[in-house]
Amino acid sequence: MTAQIPPLHPLVVHASVVLTPLLIAVSLTRVAVSSWSGVLDWAVIALAVVTPLAAVATKFSGDKLKTERYDVAVEAERTRIAQHERWGVPAVASAVGLSVLALVLVLVGSAWGSAMTSVLSGLVLLLAATAAFFVVRAGHSGAVTVWSALRP
C-alpha cells in the first residue's frame, strides 16, 4: 500500500487568497487614513513579507499540480487550467509588486518627502486595485476548474 501525498496547491492557494486581500485592505487603509500610519505600519510590513512568499509558493505548487495532472485532463479541463494560469501569473506579479511598494512606502516613503510619498501612495492604490482584480479572477477560475471537474 502506497501513501499518496495530496497536492499542495489547494492548501497553499488559500494562504494567497487570504493574505493578498488583507495586504490590500491594510495598505489602502494606511494610504487613506494617514493618522493611522503608525498603528498600521507593523501590519503592512508583516503582510508585505508573508504575502509574496505565499503567492510564489502558490505559483510553484500550481505549476507542479499542472505537470502532474495536465496530461490526463480532458480538453475542457485543459482549457480551464490554461485560463486559470493566465489569471494566476499576473495575480502573483501584482501581489509581489504591491508588497514591494507597500514596504517602500512604510520604510522610506516619509524620508523621501511628501511629493514622493504621494507618488508611492498612488502606486500602492494602483497596484492594490490590480492585485484585487487578478486575485479574484484567478480564484474564480480556479474554483470553476475544480468544481467543473467534480460535476457528474
Question: Is residue 84 one of the residues assigned to a domain?
Answer: yes
Question: Is residue 120 one of the residues assigned to a domain?
Answer: yes
Question: Is residue 72 one of the residues assigned to a domain?
Answer: yes
pLDDT, residue 113, reads 85
pLDDT, residue 68, reads 87
Question: Is residue 2 one of the residues assigned to a domain?
Answer: no
Query: Hey, what's the torsion of the CAs at 149, 150, 151, 152, to 10 degrees?
Result: 110
Q: Which three cell numbers stand for residue 17?
A: 487568497
**Residue 73: DSSP 8-state:** S
Question: Is residue 3 one of the residues assigned to a domain?
Answer: no
DSSP letter string, 106-139: HHHTGGG-HHHHHHHHHHHHHHHHHHHHHHHHHH
- pLDDT means per 10 residues, the chain with 152 residues, are 72 94 97 90 97 97 89 89 95 98 91 89 97 97 85 66
Question: Is residue 1 one of the residues assigned to a domain?
Answer: no
In total, how many domains does the chain have? 1
Q: At what angle do helices 9-32 and 114-150 cross, to 10 degrees?
A: 150
The parent domain of residue 126 ranges over 9-150
